[in-house]
Chains A and B, each alone.
Chain A
Amino acid sequence: QVQLQESGPGLVKPSETLSLICTVSGVSISSYSWTWIRQPAGKGLECIGRIYRSGSTDYNPSLKSRVTMSLDTSKNQLSLKLSSVTAADTAVYFCARDALLWAFDYWGQGTLVTVSS
């Protein structure tokens, strides 16, 4: 059974860096691509970017200058860093498996990150 679990600080100060981890179980992260999505309260879904099993990345141009994604195959984890955050980055952050033809087939439950001083 594939499971994903996001973790990280729930509160980040403006101008600082948001850092999240997604721990994957039931499958090797080296076998698939993975994606991060966020959702502000009461709003829609936005893809932040994805990381291929090779470790190469594809970021949303709207966030590209501030985003870094990486894989830790030894821990079966993926990470997201978003720098210079503002209140507009307050959202629930999800990780999901990008199964190519099969779309985003497994999701974590999401973690709320609030940007506030």
Chain B
Amino acid sequence: EIVLTQSPDTLSLSPGERATLSCRASQSVSSSYLAWYQQKPGQAPRLLIYGASNRATGIPDRFSGSGSGTDFTLTINRLEPEDFAVYYCQQYDSSPRTFGQGTKVEIK
């Protein structure tokens, strides 16, 4: 199975700053079948990005995704208070679908 490793585990930032989250795959994720989700306490994950760089419906343009192959990045420009949460990357190129361990973006 494809193992996804996210870094850093925790990112401490202030509102208005930029967050850069990394996701590295143990083997190439073809066709950029890489997604990013946001999860807040007590809630289900919410799809942010699919196909490595496409924003899901209703997602603000301060969220952007990039990358290909084994290295992917989620960037959040100008952090808003509601953006402090845990973020997961996921590959859906091969079975089983796998998630990274998550990056927590916390208020500094």
Query: Measuring CB to CB, which residues of chain A are less than 8 angstroms from any residue of chain B?
Result: 35, 44-47, 49-50, 58-62, 94, 96, 98, 100-105, 107-110
- Report yes or no: B96 in contact with A107, Cβ–Cβ below 8 A: no
Complex CA–CA separation, A102 to B52 (angstroms): 10
Query: Measuring CB to CB, which residues of chain B are less than 8 angstroms from any residue of chain A?
Result: 1, 33, 35, 37, 43-47, 50-51, 56-57, 88, 90, 92, 95-102
Complex CA–CA separation, A94 to B37 (angstroms): 14
15 examples of A-B residue contacts, CB within 8 angstroms: A46-B99, A47-B96, A59-B96, A61-B1, A94-B44, A96-B44, A101-B33, A101-B50, A103-B35, A103-B90, A104-B35, A104-B47, A107-B46, A109-B43, A109-B44
| Nearest neighbor of B90 in chain A, beta-carbon distance | A103
Complex CA–CA separation, A44 to B100 (angstroms): 8
Give min CB distance, A56 to chain B, whole Å.
Answer: 12
- Report yes or no: B47 in contact with A103, Cβ–Cβ below 8 A: yes
- Report yes or no: A107 in contact with B45, Cβ–Cβ below 8 A: yes
- Report yes or no: A103 in contact with B45, Cβ–Cβ below 8 A: no
- Report yes or no: B98 in contact with A47, Cβ–Cβ below 8 A: yes
Complex CA–CA separation, A59 to B96 (angstroms): 7
